[in-house]
Amino acid sequence: MAIHTDNRTHVLTDFVTRLKEAKKETPLTVFICGPAVFNGNGKRSRRHGARIRDFVSKKIAEGGSEVFWGEHRVFKGVGKHVTLKRFTDADNEVHFAEKSADLILIFPDSAGSLAELGAFSLHNGIAINMVIVFDARRRSDTGFVVKAIARAAKTRKAQITFQDYRRPGDVWRFVERVVSRLQTIKLTSKSYAEL
């Protein structure tokens, strides 16, 4: 018995709608590295990279995913949208990134985030889940970080982009597409595994 075109369209539309809903219910574990958003006294940083890190973290958390920040000390003023992981040992941070995170998002705009970028870029199991978001002002940078470390990450399948940190909405739209793609992959992989 032939299925009418209207029925096929309805079935496809229904499937796409259900997939979008299921994606929203597929949380990720996102490890976000970048400049400290707060200083030791709970005051907000004025750095663009710190503001982008906080803004993107809130947006990801609003979507139902769990957001982690790795810090070497505990900061006052960190919102409920972030779970703070205190790392005093670099090996522990590398282990967390490799074993626990679906996505490692790095805004390399501080000494600590550059150290994380360097450490994570050399691990195949971490770099493949890594998205490096440089400030657009660094696009023509010929320094070691952009030319050598980022290239090492890219050879291990990391994604690299240059976004204007002064335009948080644009940065978020890029990250949102990455998160959505990963949610689809996680959802379909989980569904396939359950067959």
Neighbours of 73 (CB within 10 A): 10
3-class state of residue 34 by DSSP: coil
Residue 195 pLDDT class (50, 70, 90 cuts): very low
Q: Which of 189, 28, 187, 23 is nearest to 103 (CA)?
A: 28
pLDDT band (50, 70, 90) for residue 41: low
CB atoms within 10 A of CB 56: 24
Rounded-to-integer distance, Cα 52 and Cα 45, Å: 11
The stretch 60-79 carries a mean pLDDT of 80
DSSP three-state, residue 79: coil
- Using CA atoms, how far apart are residues 19 and 15, in angstroms rounded to an integer? 6
Strand partners, 83: 68
Domains of the chain: 27-193 (3.40.50.720)
Q: Give per-residue pLDDT as tens, 44-56.
A: 777 889 999 999 9
3-state helix, strand, coil in the chain (%, to 5): 50, 15, 30
